[in-house]
């Protein structure tokens, strides 16, 4: 049985899109970058911690359930100049992030970990996103929609944020939060793909 260790509606939607049966687990994992930790190592650690926390919660609830479980943990962050842009704390923080990303190319790192009682494996997907130059009016209007909140880098490529993106090289679904191609391949490797 596959479990998704995430409350993200986007990740649920993307897994449903590829026809995978799964249940959702609510895990609480600190998302704090360690001193000297590279952005990719940070994203990978958080995703792995989510998968492990999900597996541990099943283990506590029902040992036999945990033995057959595969838990998917994922994390996605926006990175520019070695700085990780997580979810904005408020409107001012969101506006500051968008100004920083304006007219520049940033990386979106998505890491997916699968964990079972027997093994762990991951895939990494890095996409390059270039924002058009954004004037203050554009930034303020977008922040006022409320869409930037709860989104890494303060934008949602699947929503109104698409209008900010001048160019994308890589995985659209990876920028959304779950790289579908890479995730489907990883699930096949674990014999957890859709029938």
Secondary structure in 3-state letters for the chain = CEEECCCCHHHHHHHHHCCCCCEECCCCCCCCCCCCCCHHHHHHHHHHHHHHHHHHHHHHHCHHHHHCCEEEEEEEEEEECCEEECCCCCHHHHHHHHHHHCCCEEEEEEEEEEEECCCEEEEEEEEEEEECCCCHHHHHHHHHCCCCCCCHHHCCCCCHHHHHEEEEECCHHHHHCCCHHHHHHHHHHCCCCCC
């049966």: which residue's tokens? 21
At residue 42, φ and ψ (nearest 5 deg) are -65, -50
pLDDT score of 72 more than 70: yes
The model's pLDDT over 8-27, given as tens digits with 9 standing for 90+, comes to 899 999 999 999 999 999 99
Q: What is the mean pLDDT of the chain?
A: 93
pLDDT score of 195 more than 50: no
At 134, the pLDDT band (50, 70, 90 cuts) reads: very high
The predicted model scores a pTM of 0.93
What confidence score (pLDDT) does residue 64 get? 60
pLDDT score of 193 more than 70: no
What number is the average pLDDT over the span 43-58?
95
pLDDT score of 147 more than 70: yes
State the catalytic residues: 75
Question: What pairs with residue 85 in β-bridges?
Answer: 78
């Amino acid at each position: 049985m596959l479990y998704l260790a995430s409350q993200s509606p986007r990740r649920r939607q993307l897994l449903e899109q590829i026809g995978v049966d799964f249940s959702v687990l609510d895990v609480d994992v600190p998302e704090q970058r360690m001193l000297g930790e590279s952005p990719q190592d940070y994203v990978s650690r958080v995703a792995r911690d989510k998968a492990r926390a999900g597996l541990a919660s099943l283990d506590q609830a029902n040992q036999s359930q945990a033995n057959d479980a595969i838990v998917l943990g994922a994390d996605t962050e926006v990175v520019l100049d070695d700085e990780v842009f997580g979810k904005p704390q408020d409107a001012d923080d969101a506006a500051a992030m968008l100004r920083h990303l304006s007219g520049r190319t940033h990386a979106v790192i998505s890491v997916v970990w699968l964990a079972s009682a027997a093994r762990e494996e991951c895939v990494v997907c890095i996409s390059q996103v270039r924002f058009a130059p954004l004037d203050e009016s554009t930034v303020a209007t977008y922040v006022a929609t409320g869409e930037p909140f709860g989104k890494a880098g303060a934008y949602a490529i699947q929503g109104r944020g698409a209008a900010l993106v001048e160019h994308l090289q890589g995985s659209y679904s990876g920028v959304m939060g779950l790289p579908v191609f890479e995730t489907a391949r990883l699930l096949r490797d674990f014999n957890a793909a859709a029938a």
